[in-house]
Amino acid sequence: MTPGPLLARGEDADVFGIDGARVLRRYRRRAVPEREVAIMRYVHDLGYPVPRVFDVRGTDLVLERVDGPTMLADLRRRPWRMRRHAHLLSRLHRELHGLPPPDFLGGDGAAIVHLDLHPANVMLASGGPVVIDWANAAQGDAPLDVALTAVVLAAAPVEPPLSWLRDQFVRAFLGEFAPAEWRVGLDRALAYRRADGNVSDKEKERLTKLRL
């Protein structure tokens, strides 16, 4: 498939426009992960807000086009919406963790976990939020998923004044949960992030000093 204009560039894939209804997510070094497609289709059928999958061919994944800013971009532009977005992000976690895990995931834990559910992966479309980038999704424990979101945000290497906004958002997000809903997952979240080959040395240094 001949791609249209480049819309976004991620760690693992590039996203191109096709038309007003579809985008092409093209992986650079591997075929489209079957597990990612399966979990997207599964949660979509259960009513969770995720782009519809149209087609899969080799390294190409054709998805429903979602127009609108990411939650991260909206936070930067309108920081006064911080608490509203923290509440929305917590709701997206709770709704996902409340879905029954499918048999094909076959992991430990009682929940579907996204393992990358933070403001950069929530699109604010006109019809409501849409969660993207399901490459890490698995069956696991909800506290790990919540703690991992906080760890990813808190260790992000940003400078003032964005660092102040980031810290306030993390506190507001975690404030939506009881300590038992995330603290038991904190050590595993830190270990998971340290083991990620895409994490920069600067971020790893912050992880060693992190206090949540």
Q: Do 82 and 168 form a contact (C-beta atoms < 8 A)?
A: yes
Report the CATH number of the 6-64 domain.
Answer: 3.30.200
CA–chain centroid gap for 10, Å, is 12
pLDDT, averaged in runs of 10, over the chain (212 residues)? 83 89 91 92 98 94 95 94 97 98 88 96 96 94 97 87 90 96 95 87 82 83
Write down the domain spans for the chain: 6-64, 71-209
Strands (E), 119-196: 122-125, 128-131, 138-140
Kindly give, in sequence order, each residue whose CB lies less than 8 Å from that of residue 139, ignoring residues fewer than 6 positions away: 101, 105, 106, 107, 108, 109, 111, 112, 113
Per-residue confidence (pLDDT) for residue 64, from 0 to 100 = 96
pLDDT at 183: 96
Residue 178: predicted pLDDT: 96
Q: What pLDDT does 125 receive?
A: 96
The per-residue pLDDT for 201 is 81
* Residue-level pLDDT at 86: 98
Give the pLDDT of residue 173: 97
pTM of the model: 0.93
- State how far the alpha carbon of 20 is from the alpha carbons of 13, 53, 122, 123, 128, in Å: 20, 15, 19, 16, 18
pLDDT given at position 210? 81
pLDDT value for 29: 84
CATH superfamily, domain at 71-209 = Transferase(Phosphotransferase) domain 1 (1.10.510.10)
